[in-house]
């Protein structure tokens, strides 16, 4: 029997992996489990007792180090040599990391090693599908394995800490950073948050071959007004406790060693200066023992927010709120550099500074940095070139794909019946876009594009013609990622009119057209919010022209948010997200049926932007029968529901059993259902369990996800899936009592393949027997 809070997922099978991959850890880290809390604290305290105020302030300051910005690098290096920097970020070259560590360990007075952080969001050398794609797998093991590979590569080159996972809930697809999270649902988000923490940290901080996980952005960042990145957030307490905070709590319970505070203002108080959030909730209520870092410059920006009176005041208020380390603004002035003066003037206590320093030092001790500060360069190359990592990336991309529609079973394609394929679209052969954002050292030779994947799959027996179709337009405003100090990112540019005509010609001459459209990786992510969900540029015109040829058209969407295709009806539509290093190989396996798609949407897909936000877990109105008629001009229902995803097979759900018709408050209840493969292919289905509370202290959503399991079934096979609903699953935060409650009430239970599941039962919770 599987608890819905500790789901054991089906092993990866078929053309993928037969078991969880294991990798040797090499010497990247040490096993610090033998170190007791008392020993770690005593070592930290001994160092603190010898530190000057300036060294303490430096230990809780992190600087950006951009190698191609020599003046900034020189300034940062001088701070390191003077023991006024405890951490660096954005360095990922093994030789440079070793050199910088030598400065700290061999030239400073106390020889305290640096803690190196990096944005290892979905891979370092081997790039996994973007995080929201891993959530779309509805398979926590995929997320855990992917981040374990990312951690192993990062630790091998000398990185100790990642600013991930992003566990922000996103219910407005205009917000670009939804790509880094798990979508709109707090339960799915919590499961994926915990899985990623386990992947990054292994058995715990200090496990060989792992890094410290840093869940972000605490808290509510995904609810920015208008979906505009960095804008303020205003959330009710009910939304905070029931929707936006649960994934952070799950990450803390999974052992995350770090939490990053958010940039924005939350209900009028900047998150980085919010003591209620950072201390009362995170430390006192949840018992978080790790260290808190600001997002880039957000301590400094307490003054920008007009919350703090000065830079000195900003540092004092951030530290007082619970911040332990400032991620100083790139090319800017550190707020925490003012702490020694504030200590001398009595505006901040020595104890408060020492507490922050202690938390940072304890992580360094547990990571084994005092014993093994340097990277092994030969081992780093061996780990980065491990072919097993590419297998994990391919499997993850296969399991993440979501088949949205498949008219007349257009997919899978049969290579034996094809003589020619037209591959069309500006993203079809773009290595940089295939891996998605948050990749800073792209190696195009490592990346399998959709075009190259298809060519490799069909070989010389099938003609493959290609056209980029149209230009991928430039952004109106530049991104922070397409300017110095980052590499220039190429953009597809063609004569649109001529290339659309050519696309139509090759489509007419082909047996099938595969059209790859969506958003380039600079159009999603940080500083990549949008006011439209339309296909950028002239991609819609291109798509409509190809469909008008009458040839079968398979559309592959490279996107991390729902897009509006204006009613276009291709033969098949599959969301492949940004599938990563092995994306093209995975897509080819999916197109030709070596793997059946089994991913499910982690968000609701609206018909157009005018409907957002429209989470599936909404309250019942006073006129529920007209819920689909809220707009007079079109249905008020989504185009694709939360949890939707098709397969190359068909499934049925039956024999729903609830072990008790009545339980008392606090007791668990078990649910089981039979899932049957009624088709002719081996394939995966995700059994999803939803509940609805009929009445209570507060009105509750019409449906809430409380359990899921992805199962692989052979044709004709039936498997019984078990879930357990706990008191925690049946509880919620109520505004009227300002506390968590579990009501004596009646619950409806729904189980099926999406949030629209129709197989239902119910049980009653009573105050006493």
Q: What is the pLDDT of residues 552-564, one digit of tens each?
A: 999 999 999 999 9
| pLDDT at residue 29 in the model | 53
d(CA 693, CA 723): 18
| pLDDT at residue 21 in the model | 52
Pick from 32-36, 212-216, 232-236, 593-597: least confident = 32-36
| pLDDT at residue 768 in the model | 85
| pLDDT at residue 4 in the model | 36
CB 170 within 8 A of CB 178: yes
What value does the mean pLDDT take over residues 350-373? 98
Mean pLDDT of the chain: 94
d(CA 707, CA 693): 16
Task: Enter the DSSP assignment of 252.
Answer: H
Say if residue 15's pLDDT is above 90.
Answer: no
Say if residue 393's pLDDT is above 90.
Answer: yes
CB 396 within 8 A of CB 136: no
* Structure confidence at residue 2 as a pLDDT band (50, 70, 90): very low
pLDDT digits (tens, 9 = 90+) for 401-420: 999 999 999 999 999 999 99
| pLDDT at residue 31 in the model | 55
**Residue from 107, 162, 167, 77 nearest 367 by CA:** 162
Of the residues 295, 301, 429, 729, only one is catalytic, namely 295
What value does the mean pLDDT take over residues 565-584? 98
What value does the mean pLDDT take over residues 146-164? 98
Pick from 426-430, 475-479, 500-504: least confident = 475-479
Strands 669-677 and 718-725: antiparallel
Domains of the chain as residue ranges with CATH? 37-381 (3.20.20.300), 408-594 (3.40.50.1700), 651-766 (2.60.40.10)
**What residue has token string 């000398």?**
158
Residues making up the chain, counted from first to last: 769
Neighbours of 746 (CB within 10 A): 16
Q: Is 748 a catalytic residue?
A: no
* Structure confidence at residue 1 as a pLDDT band (50, 70, 90): very low
Q: Report the SS3 class of residue 753.
A: coil
Of all residues in the chain, what percent carry a pLDDT higher than 90? 89
Say if residue 71's pLDDT is above 50.
Answer: yes
Q: Distance between alpha carbon 622 and the CA centroid of its chain, in Å?
A: 36
The verdict on pTM exceeding 0.85 is yes
**What residue has token string 């195009």?**
444
What value does the mean pLDDT take over residues 704-716? 98
Q: What is the DSSP string of 425-457?
A: STTTT-HHHHH-SS-SS--GGG---HHHHHHHH
Residue 277 φ then ψ, to 5°: -75, -50
Question: What pairs with residue 266 in β-bridges?
Answer: 233, 269
């Amino acid at each position: 029997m599987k608890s819905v809070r500790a789901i054991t997922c089906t092993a990866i099978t078929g053309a993928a992996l037969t078991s969880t991959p294991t990798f040797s850890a090499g010497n990247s880290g040490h096993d610090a489990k033998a170190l007791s809390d008392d020993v770690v604290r005593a070592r930290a305290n001994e160092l603190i007792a010898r530190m000057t105020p300036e060294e303490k302030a430096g230990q809780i300051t992190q600087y950006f180090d951009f190698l191609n910005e020599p003046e900034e690098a020189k300034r940062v290096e001088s701070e390191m040599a003077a023991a006024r920097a405890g951490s660096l970020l954005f360095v990922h070259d093994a030789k440079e990391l070793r050199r910088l560590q030598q400065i700290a360990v061999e030239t400073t007075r106390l020889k305290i090693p640096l803690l190196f952080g990096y944005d290892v969001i979905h891979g370092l050398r081997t790039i996994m599908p973007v995080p929201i794609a891993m959530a779309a797998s509805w398979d926590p093991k995929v997320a855990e394995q992917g981040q374990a590979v990312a951690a192993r590569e990062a630790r091998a080159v000398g990185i100790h800490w990642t600013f991930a996972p992003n566990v922000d809930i996103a219910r407005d697809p205009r917000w670009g950073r939804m790509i880094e999270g798990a979508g709109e649902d707090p339960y799915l988000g919590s499961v994926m948050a915990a899985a990623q923490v386990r992947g990054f940290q292994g058995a715990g901080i200090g496990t060989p071959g792992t890094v410290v996980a840093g869940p972000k952005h605490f808290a509510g960042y995904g609810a920015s007004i208008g979906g505009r990145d960095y804008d303020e957030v205003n959330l009710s307490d009910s939304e905070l406790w029931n929707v936006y905070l649960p994934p952070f709590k799950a990450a803390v319970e999974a052992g995350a060693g770090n939490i990053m505070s958010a940039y924005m203002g939350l209900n009028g108080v900047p998150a980085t200066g919010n003591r209620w959030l950072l201390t009362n909730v995170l430390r006192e209520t949840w018992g978080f023992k790790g260290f808190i870092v600001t997002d880039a410059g957000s301590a400094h920006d307490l003054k920008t927010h007009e919350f703090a009176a000065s830079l000195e005041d900003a540092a004092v208020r951030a530290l007082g709120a619970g911040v332990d380390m400032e991620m100083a603004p790139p090319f800017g002035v550190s707020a925490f550099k003012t702490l020694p003066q504030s200590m001398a003037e009595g505006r901040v206590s020595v104890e408060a500074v020492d507490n922050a320093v202690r938390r940072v030092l304890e992580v360094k001790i547990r990571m084994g940095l005092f014993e093994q500060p340097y990277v092994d360069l030969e081992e780093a190359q061996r780990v980065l070139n491990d072919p097993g990592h590419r297998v994990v990336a391919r499997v993850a991309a296969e399991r993440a794909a979501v088949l949205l529609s498949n008219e007349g079973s257009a997919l899978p394609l049969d290579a034996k019946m094809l003589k020619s394929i037209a591959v069309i679209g500006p993203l079809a052969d773009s290595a940089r876009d295939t891996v998605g954002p948050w990749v800073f050292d792209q190696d195009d030779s490592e990346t399998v594009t959709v075009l190259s994947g298809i060519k490799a799959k069909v070989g010389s027996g099938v003609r493959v013609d290609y056209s980029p179709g149209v230009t991928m337009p430039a952004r109106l405003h530049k991104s922070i990622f397409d300017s110095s100090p980052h590499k220039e990112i190429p953009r597809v540019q063609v004569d649109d009119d001529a290339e659309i005509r050519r696309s139509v010609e090759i489509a007419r001459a082909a047996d099938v057209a595969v059209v790859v459209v969506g958003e380039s990786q600079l159009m999603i992510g940080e500083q990549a919010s949008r006011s439209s969900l339309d296909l950028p540029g002239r991609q819609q015109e291109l798509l409509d022209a190809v469909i008008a040829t009458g040839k079968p058209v398979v559309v592959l969407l490279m996107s991390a948010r729902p897009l509006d295709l204006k009613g276009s009806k291709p033969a098949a539509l599959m969301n492949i997200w940004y599938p990563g290093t092995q994306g093209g190989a995975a897509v080819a396996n999916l197109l030709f049926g070596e793997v059946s798609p089994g991913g499910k949407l982690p968000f609701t897909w609206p018909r157009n932007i005018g409907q957002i936000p429209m989470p599936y877990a909404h309250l019942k109105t006073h006129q529920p029968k007209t819920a689909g008629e809220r707009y007079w001009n079109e249905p008020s229902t989504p185009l694709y529901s939360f949890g939707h995803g098709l397969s190359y097979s068909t499934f049925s759900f039956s024999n729903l059993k609830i072990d008790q018709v009545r339980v008392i408050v606090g007791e668990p209840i078990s649910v089981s259902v039979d899932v049957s493969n009624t088709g002719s292919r081996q394939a995966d289905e995700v059994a999803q369990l939803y509940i609805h509370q009929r009445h209570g202290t507060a009105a509750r959503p019409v449906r809430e996800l409380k359990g899921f399991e992805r199962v692989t079934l052979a044709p004709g096979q039936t498997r019984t899936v078990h879930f357990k609903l706990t008191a925690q699953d049946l509880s919620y935060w109520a505004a009227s009592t300002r506390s968590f409650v579990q009501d004596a009430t009646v619950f409806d239970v729904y189980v099926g393949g999406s949030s629209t599941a129709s197989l239902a039962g119910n049980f009653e919770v009573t105050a006493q027997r």
